[in-house]
């Protein structure tokens, strides 16, 4: 099956610093990638949808200047948490849509997640 990787899997940073998380589709091209945030014992909340070569679409309530998304190639999207604060500590999960499998649920594959802890 299609594989989506994330790097790093776990990161600790100090308050006020910025952190970049990478999401890669390893064996397929993804014109669309999604970024989710998951707090402990809660469900996945969609933060934004990124399309290769264009600006990301953010969900209501998500600060686009704080969560910078870049989707520069068909296999890579990055999420940068700028000026991170302890309340940004969460599990960030990306997902990539395989256009060749469009039309069904198998088209969207999830990465293993990145645990961010801001101290």
Partner 1 sequence: QKEVEQDPGPLSVPEGAIVSLNCTYSNSAFQYFMWYRQYSRKGPELLMYTYSSGNKEDGRFTAQVDKSSKYISLFIRDSQPSDSATYLCAMRGSSASKIIFGSGTRLSIRP
Q: How far is CA 60 from CA 34, 63, 65, 104, in A?
A: 15, 8, 13, 26
Residue 106 CB, nearest approach to partner 1 (Å): 7
Distance (Å, whole) CA 115 – CA 93: 9
104 lies in the site for partner 1, by CB under 8 A: yes
8 lies in the site for partner 1, by CB under 8 A: no
What are the residues whose beta carbons fall under 8 Å from the beta carbon of 56, sequence distance 6 or more? 48, 49, 50, 64, 69, 71
Residue 51 CB, nearest approach to partner 1 (Å): 12
Interface pattern 60-99 for partner 1 (x via CB under 8 A): -------------------------------x-x------
Residue 76, helix vs strand vs coil: strand
Interface pattern 32-51 for partner 1 (x via CB under 8 A): --x------xxxx-x--x--
């Amino acid at each position: 099956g299609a594989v989506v990787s994330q790097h790093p899997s776990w990161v600790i940073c100090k308050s006020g610093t910025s952190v970049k998380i990478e999401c890669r589709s390893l064996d397929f091209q993804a014109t669309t990638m999604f970024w989710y945030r998951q707090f402990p014992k809660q469900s996945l909340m969609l933060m934004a949808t990124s399309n290769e070569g264009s600006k990301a679409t953010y969900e209501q309530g998500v600060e686009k200047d704080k969560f910078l998304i870049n989707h520069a190639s068909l296999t890579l999207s990055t999420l940068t948490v700028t000026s991170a604060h302890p309340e940004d500590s969460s599990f960030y999960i990306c997902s990539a849509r395989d256009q060749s499998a469009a039309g069904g649920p198998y088209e969207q594959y999830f990465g293993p997640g990145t645990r961010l802890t801001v101290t």
